[in-house]
Structure 1
């Protein structure tokens, strides 16, 4: 058994069932996300799958124009595989990818993984007063038809 995480950026290799199940059921940031939304997100992103012995155990995606901006999203390692350095391997592959070099801004949002991302050069925004967002954190769990 090889315990080295293999990274692949092929969308065809992704275990979309596992990705959707994790995001919809376990991820604090998008609980209840519909499968169709995950599919659209995958198709519109540069995706990174992490594999052990042919099984996908990690995922990350970057929304980018490949020139000036990138947004890192949906980074996870399945719970049974955490604490083994796989998140660092996954992030190293993301940061080394040729399409993500020379970006003026590379951003992300996290509640609990600041130390991981700081190890790859991410910091709090230099000018938070210049950043804005339109956030609807309950969009996937709110009853249909309710604002």
Structure 2
């Protein structure tokens, strides 16, 4: 497949939220089984970006941010048919150049297998991992469905 021109939008009205929800809740290990209501609240409280080729959404990223000092980058994906063509890197460049994000002091993310994607954009391992803590509830989506 030849790479088409990527366009990016952060307007919620432009995003194909059905596609995003379906992919996240069915194809990703971190959001599998997420209730639709949870997804809607997450989108409403976040800065979201969609990547489009030929008018079809094929990528997504979401940042939980105060747009002043901090952001957490999450739910990043490129649909399988579009991977390996530089779209994820282009999406990251666009996001990190956004006026509301360029002056943030810290942007964090969690990834199991995509360090190679984020490292060229300045991400490194935690400098002081002993300072970080988490409250992790891996079964919360399953519990919400019951």
> Normalising to structure 2: TM-score of the pair?
0.94
- Which residue number in structure 2 is paired with residue 23 of structure 1? 24
Cα–Cα, structure 1 residues 144 and 11, in superposed 2: closer, same or farther, change >3 Å?
A: closer
Deviations 1:70-102 (A, max 9, x none): 100100001111111110111111111111122
CA contact (8 A) 1:58 1:77 kept: yes
- Which residue number in structure 2 is paired with residue 74 of structure 1? 75
Shift of 1:138: 2.2
Unaligned runs of 5+ in 1: none
CA contact (8 A) 1:57 1:77 kept: yes
SS at match of 2:112: coil
Cα–Cα, structure 1 residues 45 and 143, in superposed 2: closer, same or farther, change >3 Å?
A: closer
Across the aligned residues of Structure 1 and Structure 2, the Cα RMSD in angstroms comes to 1.5
- Which residue number in structure 1 is paired with residue 96 of structure 2? 95
SS at match of 1:119: helix
CA distance in 2, matches of 1:14, 1:50: 9
Q: Structure 1: which 4+ aligned runs deviate by more than 6 Å?
A: none
CA distance in 1, matches of 2:56, 2:110: 27
CA distance in 1, matches of 2:114, 2:14: 26
- Which residue number in structure 1 is paired with residue 64 of structure 2? 63
Shift of 1:2: 7.4
Alignment coverage as a number of residue pairs = 145
Unaligned runs of 5+ in 2: none
- Which residue number in structure 1 is paired with residue 142 of structure 2? 141
Cα–Cα, structure 1 residues 144 and 19, in superposed 2: closer, same or farther, change >3 Å?
A: closer
CA distance in 2, matches of 1:38, 1:5: 25
Say whether 1:125 aligns with 2:103.
no
